[in-house]
Structures are given as C-alpha cells and as structure tokens.
C-alpha cells in the first residue's frame, strides 16, 4: 500500500504530517515508519536476563527519504526546526560536514549508519526529513523508533537483507557504543518486531520471542504524568548493583544461577532472609516480576483479561514498594485508573521516576476513561496529564511512494 492510500483512513493530523514530510523531501522514495513501544509487564528485569512483555504502538517516527549520489547524509528534524549534515566516511569523529560536533538528535542516525557499515552493509547517501508523534522523554522509546526508521530506510536503499532482530541488535549497538546510552534491547526489539493487536513475549537472554494476542475489545491507554524521568545514573546503578549482589549471595545455596531470572519465587522465599534488606527488596521485585510475565502469557492466551489486569496492578505495587522507582504522580494515575469503569489494569511503564502509566481498558469505555482520568489527576495533583489511546501496531517498515 502506498503512502497516500495508507494514510487516507488516518486522521487529518496524520495527513498533514505526511504532506509536511513530502514537502520537505519532495523526491522521497518512501516513508519509513517505526513505532514506539510500551511495556505491559516485565520492568527492570531486562538486565537480569528476564522476560518482558512490550507492545509496539501506533505512535511512530516517520522518515521521508531519497538516495544521494555521494556519501553525504542531509537531514531535517521537522519537529525541532533543525538540520544536520554528515559524511558517511569518518563517522567516528561525530562531526557534521563543517567539522562541528553533531547535534544530539543527529547522533542517532549517524550511529545507525556507523553500526550498519561496521557490520558490512552498504549505506547510501541520503536526503531525509522526519517527524514523530512519540512524546520525548516519556519512556515510550522515541530514540529506538528513530534508529529503526533509519535502519529500514537504509535497508530499502541498499537492497540488502537483514532480519528484524539483526537490525534491532545493530540499533542497540549504535545507541550503546556511538550515542553512549547503555540501553537494553527491548526498545529496539519491539519497534522491529511489532505485530498488530499483539503484545510481544521476549526472552532477553535467548532472544526468543512470540506474539501474544491482546484481548479483543480492549485498547492501550497511555497517561503521561508530565513529570520527566529523573532516574539518575547513581540510582539506576544502585539497583543494578543490588541485583548483582543478590545473585552472588544466592549462589551460596543456588550455585548454578547466572542471574535473578534463574531463581524461582519459591527458592527466593526460602533464602530471602539471607539477603540484606535493600538487596532483598530489589531482588524480590525482579524474581516476582519475571514470574508475573510468565503468568501473564497464560492469562492472555486464555483470554482472562481480569487476571492479566491484576498482574499489572501487582507489578505497579512492586515497582512502588520494592524497587522504589515510582512517584506520587504515577501512583495517583494508577490509583485513579483502578477506580474507573472499564479499567482492567494499570501500572507505571518504563524506568520510573516520572514518565507514563499504561492502562488496559475496555474499548467501549475508553473515551469516558480518558476524560475521568485526566480530571481526577488534575484534581489530585494540580497537573495536566496527556493521555493517548493506542493500539498494538506493526513493526518498522517502509511505505513506498
């Protein structure tokens, strides 16, 4: 389906964005579309080798692109009103064509080009313009979506084959090694593998995955608290170190474990008293959260939306009380949501300390839910929440002209 036909059924703002993209890149060969993601369950378990349950969402980065005959990439970030240009040779310098440091946003496409070329793929010069309707800094993986948009665009221009998992791994490498952000693989994985109407069960150790149908008649509603994530590197490292310490201590009785994902809830309960209090709390969250993801898959496959929703609420309580990464604003959103008709489950999503909550809501009551959640949050906190109705969407792809 071409760009025009694909967008005809969309809302006017989608059509306006497409028009703006094509005005900025009139000779576009296509538009790369890469979704953001929301994590339904499995928080802070990726660096413990645990399973996660994200879903790609129908908020995305859209990149209009066309090839150049030289080794130059010239880009326009329409939302920022900025431009950047760099050469595909000498990317290690992280400079533009005038020898100046690349702006922060341009490090992402430059990093993807760097990673692709390092893996032996041909990367063409490009004229491009991009826009996004993924809120920045809200924990919905706007950076991973940006990376995947460029990856699938360069795959299209180069005519080479690479699996979605390989693209996800290369985009993660770009963010880790080029941009300098120590992210896990879940964000890039979800953007590269999204399936309409499905969550994605992903084992972060084995990289095995499968789509899990979401309950019919439900929608995903994301509520942005308006508090930007403030999880400092020291707070993140403290939690990661606590998990590593727990593994070392538990190995005295469980010598074969490699990570907390290898510890069952029953084993943990028997040995919990051997751990210092803070380490015990952090580790309990991870062990129980891994178990919640496995139970959630069973619930979804059985169509038991009520049980799945209770796992979401339990996950939030654990993040609040054991991992201690929630905020009063996030707690308020979850508490308000839990009292509204049609809400099956709610919890914070992402690293915490700000950002968003995710809610699974009956579609027929979604409009009422959104209105009452916004009003209740305003009354409770004096803040305004941006609330988005989303659906699980398809993976990063190119829509041809």
User: How many Å apart are CA 65 and CA 168, to the nearest integer?
Assistant: 20
* CA neighbor of 94 nearest in space, from 62, 318, 314, 86: 86
* CA neighbor of 331 nearest in space, from 321, 322, 341: 321
* CA neighbor of 65 nearest in space, from 96, 109, 101, 95: 109
At 357, list the tokens: 């909550």
- Per the CB < 8 A criterion, the answer to whether 52 and 38 are in contact is no
What 3-state DSSP class applies to 36? strand
- The catalytically annotated residue of 96, 187, 224, 331 is 187
Burial class of residue 244, CB neighbours in 10 A (0-12, 13-18, 19+): middle
DSSP strand pairing (209-213 vs 218-224):
unpaired
- Per the CB < 8 A criterion, the answer to whether 186 and 199 are in contact is no
Instruction: Check the CA dihedral 320-219-57-54 and report its sign.
Output: positive
Q: Which residues pair with 400 in a beta bridge?
A: 30
What 3-state DSSP class applies to 392? strand
Task: Find how far residue 59's CA is from the centre of its chain.
Answer: 11
- Per the CB < 8 A criterion, the answer to whether 322 and 284 are in contact is yes
- CB contact set of 385 (below 8 Å; sequence gap of 6+): 223, 224, 225, 226, 333, 373, 374, 377, 378
Task: Find how far residue 143's CA is from the centre of its chain.
Answer: 9
What 3-state DSSP class applies to 300? helix
User: How many Å apart are CA 109 and CA 76, to the nearest integer?
Assistant: 12
Q: Is 187 a catalytic residue?
A: yes
DSSP strand pairing (343-349 vs 356-362):
antiparallel
Catalytic amino acids?
Answer: 187
């Amino acid at each position: 389906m071409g760009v025009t036909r694909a967008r005809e059924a969309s809302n006017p703002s989608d059509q306006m964005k497409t028009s703006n993209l094509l005005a900025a890149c009139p000779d576009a060969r296509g538009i790369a579309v890469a979704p953001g993601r929301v994590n339904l369950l499995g928080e802070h378990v990726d660096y413990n080798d645990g399973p996660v349950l994200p879903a790609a969402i129908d908020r995305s980065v859209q990149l209009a692109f066309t090839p150049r005959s030289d080794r130059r990439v010239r880009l326009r970030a329409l939302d920022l009103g900025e431009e950047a240009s760099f050469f595909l040779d000498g990317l290690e310098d992280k400079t533009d064509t005038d020898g100046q440091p690349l702006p922060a946003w341009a490090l992402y496409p430059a990093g993807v080009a760097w990673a692709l070329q390092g893996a032996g793929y041909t990367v063409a010069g490009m004229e491009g313009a991009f826009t996004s309707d993924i809120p920045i800094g809200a924990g919905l993986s706007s950076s991973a979506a940006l990376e995947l948009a460029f990856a699938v665009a360069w795959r299209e221009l180069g005519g080479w084959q690479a699996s979605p998992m390989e693209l996800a791994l290369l985009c993660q490498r770009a963010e880790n090694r080029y941009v300098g952000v120590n992210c896990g693989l879940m964000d890039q994985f979800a953007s590269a593998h999204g399936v309409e109407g499905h969550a994605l069960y992903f084992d972060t150790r084995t990289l095995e995955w499968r789509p899990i149908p979401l309950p019919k008649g439900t929608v995903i509603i994301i509520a942005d608290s308006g508090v930007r994530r403030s999880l400092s590197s020291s707070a993140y490292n403290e939690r990661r170190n606590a998990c590593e310490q727990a593994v070392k201590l538990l190995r005295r009785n469980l010598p074969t474990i490699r990570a907390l994902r290898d510890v069952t809830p029953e084993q943990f309960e028997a040995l919990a008293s051997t751990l210092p209090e803070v380490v015990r709390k952090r580790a309990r969250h991870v062990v129980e959260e891994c178990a919640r993801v496995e139970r959630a898959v069973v619930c979804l496959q059985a169509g038991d939306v009520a049980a799945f929703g209770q796992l979401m609420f339990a996950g939030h309580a654990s993040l609040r009380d054991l991992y201690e990464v929630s905020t009063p604003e996030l707690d308020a959103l979850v508490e308000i949501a839990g009292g509204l008709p049609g809400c099956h489950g709610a919890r914070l999503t992402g690293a915490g300390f700000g950002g968003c909550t995710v809610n699974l809501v009956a579609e027929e009551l979604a409009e009422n839910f959104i209105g009452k959640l916004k009003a209740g949050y305003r009354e409770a906190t004096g803040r305004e929440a941006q609330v988005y109705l989303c659906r699980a969407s398809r993976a990063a792809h190119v829509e041809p002209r």
